[in-house]
Amino acid sequence: MLAIGLGNRVYIWSEAIGVHYPPGLNTGRGTHVTSISSSSTGGHNILVIGRNSGQISLYGLYDRENVRFQSQQPSTVSCLAFKTVITRWHSERFGCMMAT
């Protein structure tokens, strides 16, 4: 998989699917992508996108839902990275403790 942020859109390409544009990750004018990071730990393929507006979105590439989680930061998100240590958090979505 390859993910690229150009302007306000995120483009995802894979050999199996080709190019697609996740609708939940594209925003209107004036808000553009400033950072992208991905994690494939455990085969979950998570993409995180940061924007100049301070918005952070987590997207599961194989999930039915477009966006797993969104957060608003006070200023532009210039860098994103995944924590390499697995921790356990309570999942509101599944109602149990999940390794994250």
pLDDT digits (tens, 9 = 90+) for 41-73: 666 678 889 999 998 988 877 776 667 788 899
Highest mean pLDDT of the ranges 19-33, 45-59, 64-78, 85-99: 45-59
Instruction: Tell me the pLDDT tens digit for each residue of 10-19.
Output: 888 888 788 8
What pLDDT is recorded for position 50? Answer: 92
Region at 63 (left for phi over 0; alpha for psi -120 to 50; beta for the rest): beta
The model carries a pTM of 0.72
Do the Cβ atoms of 93 and 78 come closer than 8 Å?
no
Which structural domain, as residue segments, surrounds residue 60? 2-99
Q: Quick count: other Cβ atoms within 10 Å of Cβ 33?
A: 24
Q: How many separate domains does the chain show?
A: 1
Region at 64 (left for phi over 0; alpha for psi -120 to 50; beta for the rest): alpha
